[in-house]
C-alpha cells in the first residue's frame, strides 16, 4: 500500500513538472526574452578585466535544432569614454563593471521567433558585454597619482575580446558550421578589426562572415564637421594605448586615432563583411552637429545651413564605405532614416527597413548564405527620413 502511494506521488510530481515546463514554454515570448550574464572569472588572470578591474561578461542563449552548430557572436556598444574623469564615472556603471550588469533582453537578430527571424532564430547567440570604454581595442591602465586604488582604471578591451572568444570557442563555437561576428555602434568597429582573427579561429570549412551595425563612423573632410570626432577618438586612442594595439599596417601610415575610423582599416580585412547603417545615423549627427540639432533633424525642421551639412556628411559617408564592385566580400544596406543600430530593435520583419522592396534582414541573410550578394543604398532620399520607430536601447 505504501509502495503504491509513493508511486502515485511520484507520478503526480512528474505530471506537474511536465505541465509546468509546457506552460513556461507556451508563455515565453520568442521575440523578446531575458538572459543572465555569464561572468568570465578565469579572464582576470589573463589581464582581461573591465574598467573597474572586475571580470568581463557575456550573455549566452544556446541554439537548438538544425541551428545548434551555428553561432552569432555580437559585440555590444555604448559609446566611449574620452578622459580619465569620464572613464572613472563609467567604471561605476554596467558599461564599466560586471558588478553592475543584470539581465538583458534578447530580441531582433537574437529572437527565437522563426516567422520573424527565419534565418537565425535557432542559432547559438552570444552578446559580449561592453565594459572597457574603448571599442574592445585597449591594453593599458591608469594608476591614480594619489594612490587611491578606487580611481584606477583598466583599459583591457583587446584582452576581453580574446578571453571571451576563447571561452565561447570551448562552448562549441570552434566546431561551428556557420558563424557571424557582429558588432553594434561602438562594437561595430571591432567587428571589422577582429573579423580575420575570428575567421582564423574557426574551421576552414566553416562559413564565416562579419556584420557591422551602425559602427562605421567616418572621418569628415570638413574640419568643422570633424572637430568633435577628432577630440573623441584622440582621447580614446591615448587612454587605450591604441598605438600599440591597432594594426601596424595602419599605425605605420597615420596617427593611431585615425586608425579608429573603419575606412582606414577596412582594406586590411580579408574576410567578407556587411555594413548596415543609415547615411544619417543619429549618433553620427548628434556627435557631429550637437544635441540641439538632433531634435531638429528628427523632426525634419532643419535650416538651409543644417541641410547643407547633412548632405555633405552623407556624401563623405558614401565615399568612405566599401564600393559596390565586389558585393560578395563587401555587402551594404544603407538606409536614410534618422536612427542608430538595428540588430536588436529593427530586425523583425514587422519593423525592419527596406530598400528597393528588400527588407534589411533578408538582404543580409541573402548575402550571408550566398543566395544573392546585396549592395543596397537608398538613393531616393538624400535627406533624413523621420524616425517613426524608436530603437530599443540595449546598453547594459
Residues noted as catalytic: 185, 281, 340
- From residue 361, give the alpha-carbon distance in Å to each of 24, 106, 121, 342, 354: 29, 16, 12, 10, 9
Cα–Cα distance for residue pair 340/277, rounded to 1 Å: 7
Cβ atoms of residues 287 and 80 within 8 Å: no
Burial environment of residue 56 by CB neighbours within 10 A (0 to 12, 13 to 18, 19 or more): buried
* Main-chain phi, psi angles of 98, to 5 degrees: -70, -15
Q: 224-244 burial string, b = 16+ CB within 10 Å, else e?
A: ebbeebeebbbbbbebbbbee
The contacts of residue 152 (CB under 8 Å, 6+ apart) are: 53, 141, 142, 143, 144
Cβ atoms of residues 193 and 169 within 8 Å: no
Cα–Cα distance for residue pair 341/322, rounded to 1 Å: 19
Q: Look at strands 354-355 and 273-278 and give their pairing.
A: unpaired
Cβ atoms of residues 396 and 380 within 8 Å: no
Considering Cα of 47, then 51, then 236, then 79, what sign does the dihedral take?
A: positive
Residue with cell 542559432: 123
Q: Facing residues of 59 across strands?
A: 37, 127
Burial environment of residue 310 by CB neighbours within 10 A (0 to 12, 13 to 18, 19 or more): buried
Cα–Cα distance for residue pair 325/329, rounded to 1 Å: 9
Amino acid at each position: 500500500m505504501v509502495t503504491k502511494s509513493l508511486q502515485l506521488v511520484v507520478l503526480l510530481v512528474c505530471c506537474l513538472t511536465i505541465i509546468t515546463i509546457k506552460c513556461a514554454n507556451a508563455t515565453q515570448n520568442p521575440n523578446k526574452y531575458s538572459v543572465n550574464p555569464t561572468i568570465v572569472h578565469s579572464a582576470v588572470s589573463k589581464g582581461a578585466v573591465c574598467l573597474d578591474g572586475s571580470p568581463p561578461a557575456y550573455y549566452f542563449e544556446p541554439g537548438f535544432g538544425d541551428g545548434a552548430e551555428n553561432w552569432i557572436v555580437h559585440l555590444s556598444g555604448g559609446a566611449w569614454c574620452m578622459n580619465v574623469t569620464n572613464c572613472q564615472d563609467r567604471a561605476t556603471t554596467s558599461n564599466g563593471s560586471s558588478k553592475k550588469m543584470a539581465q538583458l533582453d534578447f530580441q531582433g537578430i537574437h529572437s527565437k521567433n522563426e516567422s520573424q527571424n527565419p534565418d537565425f532564430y535557432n542559432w547559438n547567440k552570444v552578446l559580449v558585454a561592453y565594459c572597457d570604454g574603448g571599442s574592445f581595442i585597449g591594453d593599458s591602465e591608469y594608476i591614480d597619482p594619489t594612490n587611491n586604488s578606487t580611481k584606477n582604471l583598466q583599459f583591457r578591451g583587446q584582452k576581453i575580446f580574446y578571453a571571451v572568444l576563447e571561452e565561447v570557442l570551448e562552448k562549441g563555437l570552434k566546431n561551428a558550421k556557420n558563424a557571424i561576428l557582429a558588432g553594434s555602434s561602438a562594437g561595430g568597429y571591432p567587428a571589422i578589426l577582429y573579423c580575420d582573427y575570428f575567421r582564423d579561429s574557426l574551421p576552414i570549412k566553416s562559413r564565416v562572415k562579419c556584420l557591422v551595425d551602425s559602427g562605421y563612423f567616418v572621418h569628415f573632410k570638413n574640419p568643422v564637421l570633424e572637430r568633435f570626432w577628432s577630440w573623441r577618438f584622440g582621447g580614446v586612442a591615448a587612454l587605450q594605448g591604441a598605438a600599440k594595439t591597432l594594426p601596424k599596417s595602419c599605425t605605420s601610415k597615420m596617427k593611431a586615432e585615425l586608425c579608429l575610423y573603419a575606412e582606414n582599416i577596412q582594406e586590411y580585412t580579408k574576410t567578407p563583411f556587411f555594413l548596415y547603417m543609415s547615411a544619417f545615423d543619429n549618433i553620427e549627427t548628434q556627435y557631429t552637429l550637437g544635441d540641439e540639432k538632433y531634435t531638429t533633424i528628427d523632426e525634419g525642421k532643419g535650416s538651409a545651413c543644417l541641410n547643407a551639412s547633412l548632405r555633405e556628411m552623407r556624401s563623405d559617408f558614401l565615399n568612405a564605405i566599401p564600393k559596390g564592385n565586389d558585393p560578395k566580400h563587401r555587402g551594404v544596406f544603407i538606409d536614410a532614416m534618422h536612427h542608430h543600430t538595428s540588430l536588436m530593435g529593427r530586425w523583425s520583419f514587422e519593423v525592419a527597413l527596406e530598400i528597393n522592396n528588400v527588407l534589411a534582414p533578408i538582404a543580409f541573410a541573402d548575402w550571408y548564405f550566398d543566395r544573392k550578394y546585396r549592395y543596397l543604398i537608398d538613393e531616393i532620399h538624400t535627406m533624413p527620413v523621420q524616425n517613426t520607430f524608436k530603437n530599443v536601447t540595449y546598453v547594459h
